[in-house]
Structure 1
Amino acid sequence: MKSIETIATVTKDGKITAQLPLDIPEGEHQVVIVIVHQPRPKSAGIGITNYSDASGE
């Protein structure tokens, strides 16, 4: 079992998309999903291109 924290996108038709580490093999997996009741603002988050700016380095 592996625990992964990531950001997922949920579509209007109830589908979820998330980026996982590359060491997770492709195929079907049993997962547990915990939803925080309030969606993240679209402007929130740190992209890879601006990560060093946000971390103060």
Structure 2
Amino acid sequence: MGVLTAVVNVLSPDEETAGDDSFGYRCVDCDAEFRRPKRQMTRVRCPDCGSPDVRSAG
């Protein structure tokens, strides 16, 4: 996990613990894992490197 992801998770703990209301992603470029609420599924970018090349983390 990158520094920016850690900061976002601390500032927005509801996104990290949203459970069924969020999707997990992994960045293809920097391998960072992060979660986004279902309402933010469009134009998902990696919070660490800004890459739009992300995949579902299952």
TM-score category by the smaller chain? Answer: under 0.3
Structure ranking higher in helix proportion: 2
**TM-score, normalised relative to structure 1:** 0.24
* Greater RCO structure (CA 8 Å; 6+ sep): 2
Specify the structure having the higher radius of gyration (Cα).
1
Structure holding more strand per residue: 2
